Structure 1
Amino acid sequence: MGTIILVLMATMAGVAHSRFGDYTFPSYTRSPLGDSVDIASMKFLKETYNSAADKSVVSSPFGIMSLLAFYAAGAEGANRDEIVRFLGASDYKQLEASYESLSQRYASMDRSYLTVANKVFVSDKYTLRDQFKYAASAYRSDVENLNFENTKLAADTMNQWSASNTNGKISSPVSESDIDPAAAAALLNVIFFQGHWHVPFNASETKEKEFHLDRSNSVKKPMMHLLQSLFYYESAELGAKMIELPYKESQFRMIVVLPDEVDGLSSVVEKVAQRGLLEDVFKMGPAGADVKLDMPKFEIKSKLNLNELLPKVGVSRIFSEAAPGIIKEQGVAVSRGLQEAFIKVDEEGATAGAFTGLIMVFTSSNSRPPPPISFKVDHPFLFAILHNDIVLFTGTYAH
């Protein structure tokens, strides 16, 4: 039985943008696929959070799910069933249609703000099966031969592909030790999102303020400030309140989930793993008043070992059971699965200005606007980046 390597790279940079104009919140739609991606993403986040010593973590579960769906094209039996079950599909045909469609949709988007790409490196000693070549085409994946026996060359080649697709943000996710010289193939996925806020943060208003690590300890963090009408929701079920920060790029948004309690993040992570996030996201609406937002600038980089994390969400057979439909010469199992993810959120490029056309609230000539709602992100929180109802990135910030 041969081996195959799964490598995923995900990076997202959120910055403010200096051009503002009329803006209308898009109408988001909820779908069964969005729900299944949501549930799987939050289950994976829980295991990532629980396994990490540093509770500031980021990942793209969607990148992992896309590559698993791609891999499933060459698997069968219980091996494939585990993937179908984790991804929340009724059967493999539904999974195949859903993820091929998403891959094609995202591959056709403007690469100036979103890059979603797949790549297959196959050993020059082996040949891909025709059905897997078809799957590679459907997932918009390039195929290239590579000599895995030269582990340095193999790692360098994968790293160059990652760097070229992430504007150099993730340039060395693969080390020589990750490469099995006897590997038959490697499946790679990258997601790169460069988002521009529609909500302007004025850099001159960013101040050092207290960020509470827990009930007893705090540190100073640069906190961005905004007074604006935003989508908002208080979830008694999660024990948290939420805001939505829209991006200039259509249908993209960041959701910030702030636990009610300073030490409530682990409880919120546990609850979203059980019920997902979308149920609450789709209850969000105009706050009815301006939101007085204080939120830290932050940057997180995570390296995830999928050999350890995927079995915790019910996907383990890919590491021990051969998939017969990938390589002609023999079945292959995954020897190494890894993801490196990066996120940066700041107010770079922001200028002072009016944000026109956010949300209107009814007033009369005799009425006074209601007092602002305080949303002070001064303790550990959860965040997610969505395109419509598809969770692309998720993570937690703890310090």
Structure 2
Amino acid sequence: MDLRQLISNQTDVALSLSKHVALTEAKDSNLVFSPSSIHVVLSLIAAGSEGPTQDQLLSFLKSKSGDELNTFSSEVVPVVFADGSPSGGPRLSFANGVWIDKSLSFKDSYKQVVDNVYKAASNQVDFQTKLIFLALVYRMLLNNGMFFMLMASLKAVEVIQEVNSWAEKETSGLIKEVLPPGSVDSASRLILANALYFKGAWDEKFNASKTKDHDFHLLSGGPVKVPFMTSKKKQVIGAFDGFKVLGLPYKQGEDKRRFSMYFFLPDAKDGLPALVEKMGSESGFLDRHLPRQKVEVGDFRIPRFKISFGFETSKVLKELGVVLPFSGGDGGLSCG
């Protein structure tokens, strides 16, 4: 297994997915999401799939086999997503969870993958127990009463609460709902989930007293006043054809890993869609466009920002050709 090539492949998948989400689901809004989380969940599905469903997932993830995906995850995830806070680096939580109906059980081979490769917490739950109740509806226009028999899956509601509580715990309270009301019912049999939490401190903090309001140009064309951070220190910046890239390193302490946040800024005020298209279409784009050296800067400003975003992942994946896992029935799944 060529680990470098696999990392390059998964980076291409992440950028392609990001491009599609940015240009469709988030074309009129800010965007934040974790391609790595989607990759891991799809890998878990691939590990429990067979036939055309697994082939479709492997093709999308640019992998030769389920074993290759599992090996990749077992090599990369424990290193990249380990918590660095004990050694002075960023605080990280990357958790996987599996909830399966109590009427089913995992195949031993799949349970091994869930437990040992993805370190996922596996839980047996009850999706199917139903609460039956009567609702009296008084219809004033007809001046008569009418009874309706309603059935609701009480246990499905409890499962939603359990999964959302798990996500809230794993993200230190930042994500309170991954499953909205009604997303699970008595027909549900399996839930796969991933939660990612990252908290890091800049290697060189910005002086809050120097934060001032400046114009931020929207894609719609108009500017708005927002607070910008600034600094006179050297910065990790690279200039390329049509855009610039800024890298802001996080404190790493004794952590041997090096995390940075990268800002890609198009030269044209309306150049973001074209830059996103370029990033998601050219293989190896990031490898060729990440700056390494600090340089002198003149007028240097970064807007302060806070982003919240959500989208229906299965819809996006179906638009990108991953249809069979969401086509109804067992979808080729054979994990239980």
Range into which the TM-score falls when normalised by the shorter chain? 0.7 to 0.9
Secondary structure class of the residue paired with 2:306:
strand
Name the structure with the higher strand share: 1
Deviation by residue 1:68-105 (Cα, 9 ceiling, x = unmatched): 11111111122112222222223333222102322333
User: 1:134: Cα distance to partner?
Assistant: 0.7
Deviation by residue 1:317-361 (Cα, 9 ceiling, x = unmatched): 11126234211xxxxxxxxxxxxxxxxxxxxxxxxxxxxxxxxxx
Structure 1 residues 214-253: aligned runs within 5 Å: 214=219, 216-236=221-241, 239-249=242-252, 250-253=257-260
Number of equivalences? 295
Hey, what does 2:317 align to over in structure 1? 310
Structure 1 residues 182-261: aligned runs within 5 Å: 182-214=187-219, 216-236=221-241, 239-249=242-252, 250-261=257-268
Deviation by residue 1:154-208 (Cα, 9 ceiling, x = unmatched): 1110111011101100012212211132211111111110011002111111111
The gaps in structure 1 that reach 5 residues or longer are 1-29, 328-399
1:243 aligned partner, one-letter code = L
Residue pair 1:215, 1:262 contacting (<8 A) in 2 also = no
The gaps in structure 2 that reach 5 residues or longer are 129-154
1:113 aligned partner, one-letter code = R
Mark the CA change 1:46 to 1:286 in structure 2 (over 3 Å): closer, same or farther.
Answer: same
**Partners in 2 of 1:326 and 1:155 — Cα distance?**
21
Hey, what does 1:75 align to over in structure 2? 49
Hey, what does 2:126 align to over in structure 1? 147
User: 1:247: Cα distance to partner?
Assistant: 0.5
Mark the CA change 1:288 to 1:57 in structure 2 (over 3 Å): closer, same or farther.
Answer: closer
Mark the CA change 1:240 to 1:184 in structure 2 (over 3 Å): closer, same or farther.
Answer: same
User: 1:261: Cα distance to partner?
Assistant: 0.2
Hey, what does 1:278 align to over in structure 2? 286
| 2:15 maps to 1:42 | yes
Mark the CA change 1:81 to 1:228 in structure 2 (over 3 Å): closer, same or farther.
Answer: farther
Secondary structure class of the residue paired with 1:136:
helix
Percent of aligned pairs sharing the same letter? 26
User: 1:233: Cα distance to partner?
Assistant: 1.4
Residue pair 1:74, 1:325 contacting (<8 A) in 2 also = yes
Residue pair 2:82, 2:92 contacting (<8 A) in 1 also = no
Deviation by residue 1:116-152 (Cα, 9 ceiling, x = unmatched): 1111111111111111101111210111111223222
1:196 aligned partner, one-letter code = A
Q: 93, 99, 105: which one pairs with 1:127?
A: 105
| Greater C-alpha Rg | 2
Q: Which has the higher contact order (CA 8 A, sep 6+)?
A: 1
Mark the CA change 1:196 to 1:71 in structure 2 (over 3 Å): closer, same or farther.
Answer: same
**Partners in 1 of 2:303 and 2:295 — Cα distance?**
24
Secondary structure class of the residue paired with 1:63:
helix
| 2:189 maps to 1:181 | no
User: 1:53: Cα distance to partner?
Assistant: 4.9
User: 1:215: Cα distance to partner?
Assistant: 7.6
Residue pair 2:213, 2:226 contacting (<8 A) in 1 also = yes
Hey, what does 1:61 align to over in structure 2? 35
2:250 aligned partner, one-letter code = Y
Residue pair 1:83, 1:315 contacting (<8 A) in 2 also = yes
**Partners in 1 of 2:319 and 2:74 — Cα distance?**
26
Hey, what does 1:390 align to over in structure 2? none
